[in-house]
Amino acid sequence: MTYRHFKNEGWLYLLAFLIALGLRFIQLGSMPLTDVEAEPALQALHLAQGLRPTLSPHPFYILSTSILFFLYGAGTDFLARLISAFAGSVLVFAPLLFERIKPRPGLILAFFIALDPGLTALSRQVASPILAITFLIFAWGFFSRNKPSLAGFFAALALLSGPSIWTGILGLGITWAINQGLQLRRSSKPATDLETISTDSTTTDYASHIPYHESPITDYRTTLRSALLPFIITFITAGTLFFIAPNGISAALASIPAFINSWLITSDVPPNRLFLSLLVYQPLTFLLALLVIIRGWRRGSTLIIPLSIWFLVSLLLAVFIPSRQVTDLAWVLVPLCVLAALELVRNVDILPEERNEVGGVIFLTAFIWVFAWLDFSGMVWIPSDTREYVTRYWLFIGALFLLVLSLLLVAAGWSMRIARLGGVLGLALALGVLGFGGTLGSAGLRGLAFPELWWSPSIPMQAHLLESTVRDLSEWGTGDDFSAPVIIVGLDSPALEWTLRAHHVSVVEALDISTSPSLVVTSIQTDPVLVSAYRGQDFNWRQTPMWNETLPNDWIRWITLREMPQSGETIILWARDDLFIDSVPEVTTP
C-alpha cells in the first residue's frame, strides 16, 4: 500500500532526533557511574589498555566502548555512556520502518520516543536495555521491509546487547502465540471494511483501519536464510571485536544463564512501584493507550489487539520477575508509545468550523487539570491528620469529577466529537507538561539531590570530589597528579575503582600493617595504625532513596517536589602525613 507523505515530514523526524540528542547528551557525564554501570565500563577500559578481562554479558557495549576509550586515550563518564545515548537517539527513526503506522502516527511516535522519561533515562545509563530495544526493533523493521541483510546485522547486535534481549524475545514470543490463537478463532469470520484504510480521509482512525501488508515478503524461509549469513558474520566479528577479544562470544552466551538467574534472585522492589512509575512518568501515554485499547478490542482491530497483548505481556513479565527493577519496564514502553501515538493522531484532525469550540474545551480541560494539580501539590505542606488536608483531598477529587462532568456537558450540548477532541488535546497539553518534567528529572538535569525511580541504585554522591582530592594529594606529595598509589581496603565498589581509574589502584581485604601506602580508602572505621600515621577525610559515597520506608505523604512530596529521604554510606580517604605541605620531616639524632 502506498501512503501519502505530508510536507516537511523528513524535517520533523530530524527535529525529533535533535530533541532526543539534546535530552540524552546534555550533561551526560555529570552523574557519576554507579556500581552496576562501572563494572562493564571498567572492563571496556581494561580492554582498551591491552588487558584481557573477563567480560560480563554485555559484549557489544564493552567492545564498542573500548574502541572509544582506545581512540581518546582515557575513559570518561561521558564516553562510557556515549554508545547508549546514541542508540537511544536513533530509535526515533524506527517508525519509518513500519508501514502500518505511517505517516502521521509514526511521526507522533518518534516524538513520544524522544521525550519519554524512561527511554531517556535508559539512554543515559551504561549497558542499559536501550541497546537491545533499539537493535531488536530495527531488526524487526528491516525484516518486515524484506531487507534480510540489515535484519541479520541488527539481530546479531541485539543478541550481543545483554540479558535484557531475552526478556524482549520472550515477551514477543508469548504475544505471537496468543495472537495466533486469537486469529484462529477469527479465521472463520469474513473480513469487514474496518480492515481497510483510506489515506485521503482527514478523519482516518489508525487504531481501527489497518492495511494487511507491510512489505512484499512472500517467503519467510527464504528471507531468514538470506539473513543468516549476515547474522553469523556480524555476531562473530562484532562479538570478538574482529577477533581481538574472543571471549566476547562466551560473554554473549552468558546472557542466557544471567537471564535465568534473574528469575531466581529476589529484589526489594514491590510490584506497585512499577505501576506507580507508569502513572507518574507516562501519564499521557498511559491514558491514551488505555483509550485506544478499549476501542481497538471493541472494533476487533488487527493492529491494536496485538499491540495491547504485547503491552500486557511485557508488563506482567516486569511485575512477576523476582529480581524486578523499574528498568524492567523498558520493554513495556515500546508498545505503550505506539498505542498512544495511534490514539493521539485521531484527535489532531480538527475541521475549520470546529476550531473555536475545540479550543474552548482544550482551555477548560487544561485549566481544571492545573487547578487539580496545584491543589494536589499543596497537600505536601499540610499535615495529613488535619482538617485542611482532608478538605484539599476532596477538593482534588471534586476537580477531577468536574472535569468529567464538563466533558459530558460539552458532548450533550455540542457533540461527542468536540468533547473528545478538546478533552484529549487538553489532557495532552497538561499531562504532556507533567511528563516532560519527568523527562528532565530522569535525565538527571535537576541534580543528584532529586532522586528518580529510573536511576540506577546507590549513586556515588561525592565521586568527583573524592577524585579531585586524591589528585591534589598526589600532586602535593609526589609532584604528579596520578603517581601516588591508592589502596582500597574491604570495599566492594566498582564505582570506586572507576572513580580512581587514573591512579594505580589495588583492592585488598585487609591492610598489611608492614606496608605504608600513600593513600588508603576504607569504610568508616577507626584503625589505630591509620589514625597514628595518616590524616583522614570522610566522603558521602553510595546514597539510596528510602523507597521502602516511606509514608503516603512522602510519596506525595516526591511526586510534586522530587524530595525523598535517603540513606547514605560513608567512606574515609586516609592520606599519609608526609603527603601534606605542612608535614614536618623527622629529625634523626646522630
The set of cell numbers assigned to 463 is: 565521586
Q: Comparing 209-213, 242-246, 367-371, 476-480, which segment has the lowest mean pLDDT?
A: 209-213
**What is the C-alpha R_g of the chain?**
28
Predicted TM-score (pTM) above 0.75: yes
**Pick the residue with more confidence: 102 or 490?**
490
Above pLDDT 70, what percent of the chain?
Answer: 91
Q: What is the pLDDT of residue 541?
A: 92
Among 177-186, 251-260, 469-478, 509-518, the range scoring the smallest mean pLDDT is 509-518
Confidence band of 92 (pLDDT split at 50, 70, 90): very high
Q: How confident is the model at residue 4 (pLDDT cuts 50, 70, 90)?
A: low
Q: Alpha carbon of 457 to those of 296, 461, 523, 538, 546: distances in Å? A: 38, 12, 19, 21, 11
The whole-number pLDDT of residue 351 equals 85
d(CA 116, CA 282): 7
Confidence of residue 101 (pLDDT cuts 50, 70, 90): confident
Whether 582 has a pLDDT exceeding 80, the answer reads no
Binning pLDDT at 50, 70 and 90, where does residue 114 land? very high
Question: How far apart, in whole angstroms, are the C-alpha atoms of residue 172 and residue 118?
Answer: 20
| 215, pLDDT greater than 50 | no
pLDDT exceeds cutoff 80 at 99: yes
Q: Which pLDDT tens digit goes with each residue over 274-286?
A: 999 999 999 999 9
Quick one: 169 exposed, middle or buried, by C-beta within 10 A (0-12, 13-18, 19+)?
Answer: middle
pLDDT recorded at residue 437: 93
Q: What is the pLDDT of residues 22-50, one digit of tens each?
A: 999 999 999 999 999 999 999 999 999 98
Question: Between 187 and 497, where is the model more confident?
Answer: 497
Residue 538 makes CB contacts below 8 A (sequence gap 6+) with 524, 570, 571, 572, 573
Task: Give exposure, 205-231, as e/b (b: 16+ Cβ within 10 Å).
Answer: bbbbbbbeebbeeeeeeebeebbeebb
DSSP result, 72-121: HSS--HHHHHHHHHHHHHHGGGGGGG-GGGTTHHHHHHHHHHHH-HHHHH
pLDDT of residue 57 exceeding 80: yes
Q: Which of 339 and 185 is assigned the larger pLDDT?
A: 339
- Looking up cell 502516527, which residue turns up? 105
Domain boundary assignment for the chain:
9-185+194-202+218-347, 352-442, 459-579
What would the mean pLDDT of 526-548 be, rounded to a whole number?
Answer: 84
Phi, psi of 76 (to 5 degrees): -125, 165
Q: What is the pLDDT of residue 203?
A: 42
pLDDT of residue 88: 96
What are residue 266's phi and psi, to 5 degrees? -100, 155
4-18, 109-123, 398-412, 572-586: range with highest mean pLDDT: 109-123
Q: What is the pLDDT of residue 293?
A: 95
pLDDT per residue as tens digits for the range 430-452: 999 999 999 999 999 998 889 99
The answer to whether 547 and 589 have CB atoms below 8 angstroms apart is no
List, for residues 222-237, the tens digit of each pLDDT value.
878 889 999 999 999 9
Q: Is the pLDDT of residue 536 over 70?
A: yes
What's residue 6's pLDDT? 66
Number of residues assigned to the chain? 590
pLDDT in tens, 406-438: 999 998 988 888 998 999 999 999 999 999 999
Residue 74 has pLDDT above 90, yes or no: no
> How high is the pLDDT of residue 584?
56
Backbone region of residue 50 per phi and psi (left: phi > 0; alpha: psi in -120 to 50; beta: other values): left
Q: Please state, rounded to an integer, the average pLDDT across all residues of the chain.
A: 88
Residue 422, sorted as left (phi over 0), alpha (psi -120 to 50) or beta, turns out to be: alpha
- State pLDDT tens for residues 187-211: 756 544 334 333 333 344 554 444 4
Nearest to 407 by CA among 422, 397, 394, 395: 422
pLDDT value, residue 524: 83
**Top-confidence range, 56-70, 92-106, 397-411:** 56-70
Q: CA 317 to CA 168: how far, in whole Å?
A: 10
C-alpha cell recorded at residue 107: 511521526
At 70, is the pLDDT very low, low, confident or very high (cuts 50, 70, 90)? very high
- Quote the DSSP letter at residue 538: E
Per-residue pLDDT, averaged over 525-533, amounts to: 71
% of the chain surpassing 90 pLDDT? 63
Question: Which pLDDT band holds residue 368 (cuts at 50, 70, 90)?
Answer: very high
pLDDT at 189: 62
Grade residue 75 by pLDDT with cuts at 50, 70 and 90: confident
- Residue 116 CA, chain-centre distance (Å), reads 9
